[in-house]
Amino acid sequence: MKNVPLGKWRRLRQAASERGTFTVLAIDHRGPLRRALAQLAPASDPDLALAELKEDIVRELSSQASAVLLDPEIGLPHCLRRGVLPGRTGLIVAQDTGSTGDPATLSTGLVPNWSVADTARVGAAGAKLLVYYHPQDASASQVEKLVASIADACAREEIPLYLEPLVFTPDSPNTPLSSEARRRAVIETARRLVPLGVDILKAEFPLNVSEQTDERVWSDACNELTEASAVPWVLLSGGAPWNVFLRQAEIACAAGASGVMAGRAFWKEAVIADRSARNRFLAGEATERFHRLRAICDASARPFQHLLQPVDDPAAIS
């Protein structure tokens, strides 16, 4: 059991359901999503198009979410100014510049002119950091130092750190990991990075499900990840098709995951030029998807309180 200060504890409660599970709507996507929108409507302002897409998604889906993950450059200021994020819904803010969307460019930096302190000042319930990591890659020690540095900043502000490590094939990032290699990498990554100060692990499904279709193996891998992570973990969608992600979430939650932190599985079909068609999809199919995922998380995910507890020493919070 890990002790967390009361500031972190309060913020974890803000980002979770009453039961202590997570159904987080992720819409911190930037570069790849901006490019997709520019292809659909070349004459449009790409930043405005991205802001309006985020606004629509947050307006339609955030009331069902335990929290919403936004980027500080476009999504956060636009959605807060437009008033589409309910006050009762937790806010998690990305510290990183986002996924490149290019397997040959596996690097992520920190958002310029933004810090963990800024994240705390806007009333956020958490800070998220995405890193590309493989335990055997030459960059591993550099990534570990980055994670530890952001974790230290989160500790100073008493704001939880949600870490999203994405694994890859060392020396050949364009080559997908085999299912068994992915399992080893995801689980060893949890063992190595979580102790650096992570509060919630945002994990990839620990198998390549297109290669490994046996759901008993899926369950075994998720159980192994649960054993390897000393803190609660939540499942990211990683662009998986909706029906695949739904089944992954069911198996992961039954095996000890504390919920999901997902984006494209809910809303990727909303990335279309026609805004009225987008909003019909969000109000219909996407909303139904969110209902189904939240029901799974509420019913079977492991509450974060099973692994985290607030400090009870008054001196620790002075």
Predicted confidence (pLDDT) per residue in 71-127, tens digit: 999 999 999 999 999 999 999 999 999 876 666 667 778 999 999 999 999 999 999
Q: Which two tokens stand for residue 308?
A: 């985290």
Task: Look up residue 306 and give its amino acid.
Answer: H
Residue 7 confidence (pLDDT) above 50? yes
In sequence order, which residues have a C-beta less than 8 Å from that of residue 72 and are 6 or more positions away? Answer: 93, 94, 111, 114, 118, 119
CB 255 within 8 A of CB 217: no
Instruction: Please provide residue 135's backbone torsions phi and psi, each rounded to the nearest 5 degrees.
Output: -55, -30
Predicted confidence (pLDDT) per residue in 171-181, tens digit: 888 888 999 99
Q: Which two tokens stand for residue 193?
A: 């990075």
Q: Which of 234, 176, 237 is nearest to 208 (CA)?
A: 176
pLDDT at 174: 83
Mean pLDDT, the chain, whole residue set: 93
In this prediction, what percent of the chain has a pLDDT beyond 70?
Answer: 96
Q: Look-up: residue for tokens 């939650």?
A: 253
Predicted confidence (pLDDT) per residue in 258-308, tens digit: 999 999 999 999 998 789 999 999 999 999 999 999 999 999 999 999 999
CB atoms within 10 A of CB 239: 14
pLDDT at 102: 63
Residue 213 confidence (pLDDT) above 90? yes
Radius of gyration of the chain (CA): 18
pTM above 0.85, yes or no: yes
pLDDT at 153: 98
Three-state SS annotation for 196-259: HCCCEEEECCCCCCCCCCCHHHHHHHHHHHHHHCCCCEEECCCCCCHHHHHHHHHHHHHCCCCE
Task: Look up residue 85 and give its amino acid.
Answer: L
Predicted confidence (pLDDT) per residue in 23-57, tens digit: 999 999 987 888 888 787 776 788 999 999 999 99
Q: Please give the C-alpha separations between residue 244 and each of 210, 215, 239, in angstroms, as whole numbers.
A: 10, 11, 10
Q: Which two tokens stand for residue 238?
A: 């990683």
CB 265 within 8 A of CB 237: yes
CB 298 within 8 A of CB 292: no
Q: Which of 98, 129, 296, 107 is nearest to 201 (CA)?
A: 129
Q: How many CA atoms lie within 13 A of 134 on its CB side?
A: 18
Residue 317 confidence (pLDDT) above 60? no
What region, left, alpha or beta, does residue 158 occupy, with left being phi > 0 and alpha being psi -120 to 50 degrees? Answer: left
Which domains are seen in the chain, by residue range? 2-317 (3.20.20.70)
pLDDT at 43: 62
pLDDT at 318: 39
Q: How far apart are CA 41 and CA 39, in angstroms?
A: 6
pLDDT at 272: 85
